[in-house]
Amino acid sequence: MKGYRWMLVLGAGVVLGIAASTVTAFRSSLVSTGRASDVHGEWVKYAGASGDTVMAYIAFPERSDAAPAVIVIHEIFGLSDWVRSVADRLAEEGFVAIAPDLLSRRGGTENAAQPRRVIRDLPPDSIRVDLDATHDYLRALRSVRTDAVGVVGFCWGGGRSFRYATDNPDLRAVVVCYGSAPEAAEMARIKAPVLGIYAERDARINANLAGVERAMRAAGKRYVKTVYPEAGHGFLRTMRPRAVAEEAWRDVLRFLDEELNR
């Protein structure tokens, strides 16, 4: 990927545990660059709304200059090992990647007996506030370029990333992986280009794609989507079919590189 000229944010949060994590074994499920790279990962916490605390996993690349950053929004299963591996993978590519646990207000993913049910009950306003807090935390770090922050989300998180684009005009890139879309009227507020990653065997999500494309075009927004053949919902996690998933991952990384490394 091209050389980056970004800045990271330091000093807006408190480190929960500085146990540097080597890149986890879960990264083997992602498309590999084939090059060796060390990544530093740690748990952090920072203030959300009304004094609440947001917990997050953040991964830093090895580089001497400030980096672009990506907020990673987890699936409906919560902040899993796989989501952390995505953050590690993005750090390998030169991005600072942070994955907030959006169940922090409810004790965190690890303490939730039924994460899927709890996530479904989260008030939309609290999700937005916690994502804003995450964005602010990143922009306070000296190792992050404040003008180069994007977001990527998967499944439930894909829908949240699309919606967050309507609320945060400072985002520079938005990736929606098989997630639902906001209302057409809300799309007019989107400033960043949006990449849609969808699976052929995902009729529930795909049923609305034509309308999403029309609405984004009518609003004058940059929206590029691909429906990957033979893939099902969640295929970037399962990596099935392998070749198709690897192609999709390359498309995601290329888009983030092009939009954030300007």
In a domain? residue 200 = yes
pLDDT tens, position by position, 54-111: 999 999 999 999 999 999 999 999 999 999 999 999 999 999 999 999 999 889 999 8
pLDDT for position 37 = 58
Is 40 designated active site?
A: no
Q: How far apart are CA 46 and CA 55, in angstroms?
A: 7
In a domain? residue 2: no
Return d(Cα 238, Cα 252) in angstroms, integer: 16
Question: In this structure, is residue 7 part of a structural domain?
Answer: no
Of the candidate ranges 43-52, 84-93, 200-209, 218-227, the one whose mean pLDDT is the lowest: 43-52
**Domain membership flag for residue 67:** yes
Closest CA to 238 of 154, 159, 174: 154
Number of domains in the chain: 1
- 214: pLDDT strictly greater than 50: yes
CB hemisphere CA count around 212 (13 angstroms): 24
In the prediction, which pLDDT does 32 show?
Answer: 43
Whether 1 is in a domain gets the answer no
pLDDT of residue 23: 32
Residue of 74, 155, 167, 177 marked active site: 155
User: Tens digit of pLDDT for each residue in 12-61?
Assistant: 333 333 233 323 333 434 544 434 357 999 999 999 866 789 999 999 99
Q: Where is average pLDDT lowest: 116-125, 126-135, 151-160?
A: 116-125
**What is the percent of the chain where pLDDT is above 90?**
78
CATH number of domain containing 95: 3.40.50.1820
**Hunting for tokens 């672009």 — which residue is that?**
68
Has residue 201 been placed in a domain?
yes
In-domain check, residue 3: no
CA–chain centroid gap for 170, Å, is 15
What integer is the mean pLDDT of 130-148? 97
pLDDT reading at 159 higher than 70: yes
Q: Residue 218 sits in which domain range?
A: 14-260
CB 94 within 8 A of CB 61: yes
Query: What rounded mean pLDDT belongs to the chain?
Result: 87
pLDDT of 112 reads 82
pLDDT confidence bin for 138, thresholds 50/70/90 = very high
Q: Which of 144, 149, 145, 196 is nearest to 171 (CA)?
A: 149
Among the listed residues 74, 167, 233, 257, the single catalytic one is 233
Per the annotation, the verdict on 74 as an active-site residue is no
Look at residue 8 and tell me if it is in a domain. no
